[in-house]
Amino acid sequence: MSRHAIESETPWWLESGPETCQFCQHTFHYEAGYHCIHCDQPICPLCVMELEDSRDTVCPACRDEGAK
């Protein structure tokens, strides 16, 4: 009964999951991700942006648009 050591540095939520981030193409677990309040796209924890004033979670694309 030998166990392999954990070989990857990838956090659990970046292991293959049902959701694919449209911005970095990582797959992630739905529970660990976010949704953009504007376009409703799933966003991984690495790409999610939080608006400073409203604390809404948005995708990088929508944040860029809103920042103009």
Our CB check for Zn ion shows the closer of 1 and 66 to be 66
Interface with Zn ion (CB under 5 A): 21, 23-24, 36, 38-39, 44, 46-47, 59, 62
What are 34's two structure tokens?
């976010």
Our CB check for Zn ion shows the closer of 2 and 25 to be 25
The Cα angle at residue 65 between residues 54 and 67, in degrees rounded to 5: 55
Q: How far apart are the first and last CA of the chain?
A: 58
Our CB check for Zn ion shows the closer of 2 and 24 to be 24
CB of 24 to Zn ion, least distance (A): 3
Q: Which of 24, 37, 46 is nearest to 66 (CA)?
A: 37
